[in-house]
Chain A
Amino acid sequence: MAIVAQTSRFSKIAWPVVAWIVGLIFFFPIFYMVMTSFKTDADAVNPEFLFSFTPTLENYANMTDNYDYWRFATNSIITSVFATLFALVVGVPCAYSMAFSPTRSTKDILMWMLSTKMLPAAAVLYPMTFLTKNVLGVFDTHFLVIVVLCLINLPIVVWMLFTYFKDIPKDIIEAGQMDGLNTWGEIKEILIPLAWGGIVSTALLTFIFCWNEAYWTVRLTTIDAATLSKLIEGNRAPEGLFFGRLSAVSTAAVGPIIVLGWFCQKQLVQGLTFGAVK
């Protein structure tokens, strides 16, 4: 009751209004991009048509001709999906054993895994280029992008899964052992069904990170395995001539991910803070 008493009528109205304004300001650049994507290139740079214009789908229809969008999008999908899958295949058993049979070194291994994530990528730029181009010959292949995306996200995958698995009572797993399940059976029959929600949100978040990655995907590809990051980076300075079509391809590149992101806001906190904020 005390809280209600303190809330004046003014703040009852002003508070939501301010909150809405802040929300709209933050969303405005995205809105502006989406709006511009429905203008022709000529209208897009004409202040007269800033908010009143004849919407057109031309930019989306020509996206394949202008930018070869689908090739880059396919590369993004392939690399992100497989990188996420591999990270889970390696990460689930690892997090399982860490959560259910921790040893004295478990904590140190987890911390060490995190620390690999903190190495600045640029520091190993040349060795990576050299190794992949001249030694292994995998430069600009899907295989390389998948492996790299998988490895840079593996620490986060293990961490997130570990925090989910930790909450599952040990007794359930032990009961499975009594019933004569082997390790694989325990993971398949007990762990995965029980932690399904956690595994799915880990996968979604990893997928988003893979999709948005913009260092290695730009530096280790040229054409064959180039992702959407590379496509947009290559069109960085359109000199205002192509705002319409550039907005369309940008919208197509970020739209699905933003929607996906709305569904895993909660997991984002856990995934990015490694469970340190609750």
Chain B
Amino acid sequence: MANRTIPRILQTPAVILLLIWMLVPLSLTLFYSFIRYVLNSTVRPEWMTPSFSNWRGFGNYEFVLNSKDFWFAVKNSIFIVTSILTLTVVLGVLIAVLINRSFPGRGIVRVLLISPFFVMPAVNAVLWINMLLDPVLGLQGIAVNNINTLIGGLQDAPIVGWFFNMWPVFEPISFRATQTSSIAVIMMVTWQWTPFAVLIFMTSLQSEDQQQKEAAILDGASRWSQFRFLTLPHLGRPMAIVVMIQAIFHLSLYAEIEIVSRGNGNKNLPYLIGEFANNNIGAASATGIFAVILANIVAIFLLRMVGKTLME
């Protein structure tokens, strides 16, 4: 392997392609974020073409930082991402431990569990918001209706009737309102990504030290303390990886928000960028740069972790 030119040549296409893909659009975004640039303006038509003479300095950044929408979108992004992360990690660990031992039909249960991960995001969102969560026609509406009928019937029953008379009539929740649509998004994405966490934790559990576990059992350690002091520490690293990979994916969550929340005021950062990009390109670009910074903070940690195992 003395010849070093051929390897270089083989890597060149991939490196150059990715370099163009990364640098060209990003430098344009950076440029636009420092100029006044709008798509439609009858008052200042000169702002409609990007040029250095429209230089605005940090004006776009100031504009974005002072807009209520931006802070709402940031808070919402963080709320959505952290909720999904907590739910998927907790559910993921529990389910992984649950199916980590052999039982009849384990293969089938695995297949059932992993399926949601392969559903395309657009279908996921349409399925949940319409067929499952719709307050009237969806499964939620039907279920709430049935519960109300059931309670209504029980109110006339002897002996226990007084108890059910105290129950209120349940109202189905509309998940298309501003506040609730985040919850809907959290539900559907958690459904989709819990399988991913399960899969990774299960892979990791298979490499757990069985001898250590048997020793602990011989020492009379309870199920709980085995889980707490052996399994959980063993899962620490995979958990960190699950958290970071998901954070990167979910910070750029788009299709779900677009489908569930269009027009109801709920938004996250990518959605806000899309809104700005309808006219105010300067603001859209400045928001984009903020999104890049946010993603990079997560990415640095992830890259460090992945890098450690890279050349083993």
Residues of A in contact with B (beta carbons under 8 Å apart): 2-3, 6, 15-16, 18-20, 22-24, 26-27, 29-30, 32-33, 36, 45, 47, 50, 90-91, 93-94, 96-98, 100-103, 107, 109-111, 113-131, 151, 154-155, 158, 174, 183, 208, 211-212, 214-215, 218-219, 228-230, 232-233, 235-238, 240, 243, 246-247, 250, 253-254, 257-258, 260-262, 265, 268-269, 272-278
- Contact between chains at B25 and A124 (CB < 8 Å): yes
- Contact between chains at A250 and B123 (CB < 8 Å): yes
Residues of chain B within 8 A (CB-CB) of A258 are 115, 118-119
Residues of chain B within 8 A (CB-CB) of A277 are 200, 203-204, 237-238, 241
- Contact between chains at B32 and A126 (CB < 8 Å): yes
Cβ contact of A100, chosen from B1, B95, B98, B130, cutoff 8 A: B1
From 245 to 292 in chain B, residues with beta carbon under 8 angstroms from any chain A beta carbon are 245, 248, 251-252, 254-255, 258-259, 262, 269-271, 273-274, 277, 281, 284-285, 288-289, 291-292
A15 to B15, CA, bound (A): 50
Residues of chain A within 8 A (CB-CB) of B110 are 23, 265
A227 CB → nearest B CB, Å:
9
Residues of chain B within 8 A (CB-CB) of A26 are 112-113, 115-116, 191, 194-195
Binary interface profile of B, 85-115, with partner A (CB < 8 Å = 1, else 0)?
A: 0000000000100110101111011111111
- Contact between chains at A114 and B130 (CB < 8 Å): no
A118 to B248, CA, bound (A): 6
Contact of B147 with A by CB under 8 A: no
- Contact between chains at B310 and A107 (CB < 8 Å): yes
From 1 to 15 in chain B, residues with beta carbon under 8 angstroms from any chain A beta carbon are 1, 4, 6-8, 10-11, 13-15
> Which chain B residue has the least Cβ–Cβ distance from A278?
B207
- Contact between chains at B309 and A276 (CB < 8 Å): yes
Residues of chain A within 8 A (CB-CB) of B132 are 29, 32
Residues of chain A within 8 A (CB-CB) of B203 are 269, 277-278
- Contact between chains at A30 and B11 (CB < 8 Å): no
Residues of chain A within 8 A (CB-CB) of B159 are none
Would you mind naming 20 contact pairs between A and B with Cβ atoms under 8 Å apart?
A29-B127, A29-B132, A113-B14, A120-B292, A120-B294, A123-B285, A123-B289, A126-B28, A127-B32, A158-B14, A229-B121, A229-B255, A233-B258, A236-B262, A237-B130, A258-B119, A261-B115, A265-B110, A265-B114, A273-B200
Interface size for B (C-beta < 8 A) is: 110
Contact of B157 with A by CB under 8 A: no
Given contacts A94-B10, A235-B126, contact A29 B254 (CB under 8 A): no
- Contact between chains at B309 and A3 (CB < 8 Å): no
Given contacts A23-B112, A110-B310, A126-B281, contact A183 B10 (CB under 8 A): yes
- Contact between chains at B199 and A268 (CB < 8 Å): yes
Residues of B in contact with A (beta carbons under 8 Å apart): 1, 4, 6-8, 10-11, 13-15, 17-18, 21-22, 24-26, 28-29, 32, 95, 98-99, 101, 103-106, 108-123, 125-132, 134, 136-137, 139, 142, 145-146, 191, 194-196, 199-200, 203-204, 207, 214, 217-218, 223, 237-238, 241, 245, 248, 251-252, 254-255, 258-259, 262, 269-271, 273-274, 277, 281, 284-285, 288-289, 291-292, 294-296, 298-299, 302-303, 305-307, 309-311
Residues of chain B within 8 A (CB-CB) of A268 are 117, 196, 199
- Contact between chains at B11 and A97 (CB < 8 Å): yes
B127 CB → nearest A CB, Å:
5
